[in-house]
Amino acid sequence: MALLDTDLSLARNSYYAATSPREPAFAPLQGDARCDVAIVGGGLSGLAAALDLRQRGFDVALLEAREIGSGASGRNGGQAIHGLACDQELIEFQLGATDARLVWDMSIEALDLLRERIKEHAIACEWRDGWLGVARTPGKARELLRSGERAEKRYGYRMQGLAAGELGHWIASPEFHGGLYDPRSGHLHPLKYTRGLARAAAAAGARLHEGSEVLVLEQGTQPILRTARGSLRASQVLLAGNVYLGALAPQLAPRIMPVGTYIACSEVLPEALADSLIPSRSAVCDNNFVLDYFRTTDDNRMLYGGRVSYSTRTPGRLAESMRQRMVLTFPQLEGRHIEYAWGGFVDITMNRAPDFGRLGEQRNIYYLQGYSGHGLALSGLAGRLVAEAMAGDASRFDVFAQLGHRNFPGGTRLRTPALVLGMAWYRLRDMLA
Ligand SMILES: Cc1cc2nc3c(=O)[nH]c(=O)nc-3n(C[C@H](O)[C@H](O)[C@H](O)COP(=O)(O)OP(=O)(O)OC[C@H]3O[C@@H](n4cnc5c(N)ncnc54)[C@H](O)[C@@H]3O)c2cc1C
């Protein structure tokens, strides 16, 4: 897991780590054990599957290399948004109208499921309703409004389109030319939510082990996962390791690319100032291909995300460069300090569609990856789809598993230059729109 060292120190600098009390650790796996389902990865995908599988009566054990939530799940922007990372047109093109409708509906179900789990398991994670999409050019505003009209026409999903003149009530920024408001999407404190989901899974009887990196996966009718201190034999396996799986599943690695994205969090602002920046307190993101995403927190800070990097190194002067982006959007924040800056890796696929499927001759090794930066809500539903499939009804899982994916061209060594070229093209397209 070569990504881990710099990655973990980045996560520890996060506002989320500073504001979530550390809970008692889950003990590492020791010795040889058995279970019905073994899960690799203690992020939202793995935990959601663990909880759902336990609720269906499976004996479940989950192995997490580091700490629960130490991957993307505990450090993301906290924005739970309808749809997928890719355009819905791509899904329609690949799957046809009927299955594309199922995918859209499942993306909305994912939002409802997130709210249900928060309520059912009493997870204190600062959930707030509301998401606002905004556009930085008139062309991008037309694109955004068209996407809202399309969602309503094709899927009956209603959002409120906002013309440039109406935006002042929604966001105190000179930067934007149009908006789209969705009351059903929203935002939360992702590390508090992820740890809450882990507590719920453990309370339901799932065996969770931290500090248990899976080093070897032996496929077969009863696959075996080996760690430094033990082994776990199971009838079925779920790989939910995001960009960190690497050599454990060499077939999967070329289909995703780890792309760094970064977040800065300001000092506490006066409440009236925080209220004035985004009066609805919604989560906000722009519709550029390389997007900025931001929101105010419960304790009145500006949490501002954006930038990308294609190497696994943390960009220099991270806090200052993020501060400059924040001030470009909100000039009122000039002079305000950044107290936390961190980042993580999103698992981008070539077409930005999620990549779910099965491996092995027995087809008893499931995987979930490729959320492409849009996995906060969807990972929760994906865990449920895996549980349904393992329990015998794969119909909904297979709707996603049909999506076609290609390896990044040039293999592992050339993946980065190919992606940089692709991103440069999209950036240019954003500037010209
Ligand atoms: C900075 C950032 C901002 C983001 N913002 C948003 C957002 O606002 N909205 C949104 O929808 N999405 C966002 N995302 C994406 C979202 O966070 C992810 O899609 C989602 O959390 C994926 O969850 P996961 O469980 O699949 O992966 P992860 O949370 O990364 O969990 C994978 C886990 O597997 C473990 N693991 C890997 N290999 C092994 C092994 N061999 N043995 C044991 N354990 C292993 C890792 O240690 C890790 O904890 C963001 C991501 C980042 C990084």
Assessment of whether the complete model's pTM goes beyond 0.85: yes
Q: Ligand 1: which of 376, 384, 385 to mutate, most ligand atoms within 8 Å of CB?
A: 376
Which of 204, 208, 228, 206 lies closest to 216 in space, CA to CA? 228
Q: What is the pLDDT along the chain (433 residues), one digit of tens a residue?
A: 555 546 666 777 899 999 998 788 999 999 999 999 999 999 999 999 999 999 999 999 999 999 999 999 999 999 999 999 999 999 999 999 999 999 999 999 999 999 999 999 999 999 999 999 999 999 999 999 999 999 999 999 999 999 999 999 999 999 999 999 999 999 999 999 999 999 999 999 999 999 999 999 999 999 999 999 999 999 999 999 999 998 899 999 999 988 889 999 999 999 999 999 999 999 999 998 778 999 999 999 999 999 777 666 777 788 999 999 999 999 999 999 999 999 999 999 999 999 999 998 889 999 999 999 999 999 999 999 999 999 999 999 999 999 999 998 765 555 565 666 566 555 555 555 5
In a domain, 10, yes or no: yes
Q: Tokens 């994205």 correspond to what residue?
A: 261
Cα of 43 from ligand 1 centre, angstroms: 6
In a domain, 209, yes or no: yes
In a domain, 378, yes or no: yes
Could you give the dihedral angle defined by the CA atoms of residues 259, 291, 189 and 372, in that order, rounded to the nearest 10 degrees?
Answer: -40
40 lines ligand 1 (CB under 6 A): yes
Q: How far apart are CA 48 and CA 30, in angstroms?
A: 24
372 lines ligand 1 (CB under 6 A): no
379 lines ligand 1 (CB under 6 A): yes
Residue 292: exposure state from Cβ atoms within 10 A (0-12, 13-18, ≥19): buried
Q: Tokens 């068209």 correspond to what residue?
A: 146
187 lines ligand 1 (CB under 6 A): no
Q: How far apart are CA 402 and CA 396, in angstroms?
A: 10
Q: How far apart are CA 378 and CA 183, in angstroms?
A: 17
Q: How far apart are CA 352 and CA 372, in angstroms?
A: 5
Minimal-distance CA residue to ligand 1 atom 21: 73
- Tell me, what CATH number does 208's domain have? 3.50.50.60
Nearest-atom number in ligand 1 for the CA of 215 is 41
Q: How far apart are CA 61 and CA 309, in angstroms?
A: 34
In a domain, 423, yes or no: no
Q: How far apart are CA 220 and CA 237, in angstroms?
A: 11
In a domain, 316, yes or no: no
In a domain, 162, yes or no: no
- What is the total count of domains within the chain? 1
349 lines ligand 1 (CB under 6 A): no
Q: Ligand 1: which of 346, 348, 365 to mutate, most ligand atoms within 8 Å of CB?
A: 346
Quote the radius of gyration of the chain (alpha carbons, Å).
21
237 lines ligand 1 (CB under 6 A): no
Kind plus residue range of the DSSP H or E element containing 98: helix 88-120
Find the angle CA(230)-CA(232)-CA(233) to the nearest 5 degrees.
145
Q: How far apart are CA 387 and CA 60, in angstroms?
A: 11
Structural domain for 50, as ranges: 3-76+191-255+351-409
Cα of 75 from ligand 1 centre, angstroms: 8
Q: Ligand 1: which of 114, 207, 225, 244 to mutate, most ligand atoms within 8 Å of CB?
A: 244
User: At residue 294, what is the residue type?
Assistant: F
152 C-beta neighbours (distance < 10 Å), count: 12
